Amino acid sequence: MYTEFPVDGKMRELTRHGTEDFPIQYYVDELHRFSGHTIPLHWHPELEIWKAEGGNVTVQVGAETLLLEEGSAIFINANTLHGFTLPDETRTPACPNIVFKGELAAPVTSMIYKKYIAPILSDPCIPYILLQPSYAWQANILEHLEQIFFLMKTPAAPCPELGVQRELGWIWQLLWTNREQIPLSEGKKNERLLQVRIQKMLTFIHSSCSSRITLADIAASAGISKSEAARCFQACLLTSPVNYLLSLRIETARHALAASRDTVEEISASCGFQSASYFCRVFRKYTGMTPLQYRKEKNRLR
């Protein structure tokens, strides 16, 4: 059984991380338990530090793909589109990570937050920071990260919340004092623009998929040309806007076939297909079955 990863139509993760008064959560991600050995592209307003343990991991940040070697970690900035894939499907890594708000280290209204934390969070040239043990200051951050992992999974430790806040403070201090060594690229500013455009188009597609919409409509929702819309989808999602729309419609139809008694014609129309015959052709292409065969199989498995 694969683990589900909850995201909405804008690719925002739906999981709540931590609590309002202690906004941090510790996880151990077992990529081999996810469909396709992949945690799909998503984003959240919190920061994330994710460590590769038990094997190398491929990370996509925006349109950029990089290899995170075992023992290394990646700091992912707030509101940044990212996902993880296990390149070697024979491995079964368990990768620890934390998702947290920057305000956990210092209140948003404090001088500490404004001077040391906000500049990193708001820098469009820092969508991520690789943390590798071969660099002394990064290895130091990894040591503090391990201590946070220990405190988060050992609630019986003395004053674990204070310990977590202390270790995060050290991490921020190391990031700030070594900020000139963090690779910056003007080109990375385009990553935020790409993400904004993708989110606008996905919002439009998810809200209008039952209607008749065209590539021009999808592009117009983000104020860009059809060719730029195609480029954005290919860069981030490795597919075209039209194929994404069809996949969404077929997924919606699959749920309707399994959960309702509506006719194929009714489901076809409700999912935005122009005709039932076209719907059946597309459905068979994506699933290998006709709609009625799919419904029969789902009913048999109940």
CA angle 126–184–177, rounded 5-degree value: 75
Contact 245, 90 (CB under 8 A): no
Residue 35's pLDDT is what?
82
Residue 20 in tokens: 């309002």
Residue 124's pLDDT is what?
82
Percent of the chain with pLDDT over 70: 97
What gap in Å lies between CA 254 and CA 280, rounded to an integer? Answer: 12
Contacts of 10 (CB under 8 A, 6+ apart): 199, 202, 203, 206
What is the average pLDDT value for the chain, to the nearest integer? 91
DSSP 276-297: HHHHHHHHHHHHSS-HHHHHHH
Half-sphere exposure of 230 (CA within 13 A, CB side): 7
**pLDDT at residue 27 tops 80:** yes
Which residues share a beta bridge with 85?
A: 38, 58
**pLDDT at residue 10 tops 90:** no
Contacts of 285 (CB under 8 A, 6+ apart): none
Q: Report which DSSP code applies to 114.
A: I
**pLDDT at residue 128 tops 80:** yes
Mean of pLDDT values over 271-284: 93
What gap in Å lies between CA 61 and CA 192, rounded to an integer? Answer: 10
Strand, helix or coil for residue 68 = strand
Residue 2's pLDDT is what?
56
Residue 297's pLDDT is what?
87
Question: Among 124-128, 272-276, 277-281, whose mean pLDDT is lowest?
Answer: 124-128
Tens of pLDDT, residue by residue over 178-225, are 999 998 765 566 777 888 899 899 989 988 988 989 999 999 999 999
Model-level pTM?
0.81
The alpha carbon of 77 is separated from its chain's Cα centroid by a whole number of angstroms, namely 12
What gap in Å lies between CA 53 and CA 280, rounded to an integer? Answer: 44
**pLDDT at residue 233 tops 80:** yes
Residue 189's pLDDT is what?
61
What gap in Å lies between CA 140 and CA 146, rounded to an integer? Answer: 10
Tens of pLDDT, residue by residue over 49-61, are 999 999 999 999 9
Residue 74 in tokens: 């990646």
Q: Report which DSSP code applies to 93.
A: -
Strand, helix or coil for residue 96 = strand
What gap in Å lies between CA 279 and CA 263, rounded to an integer? Answer: 12
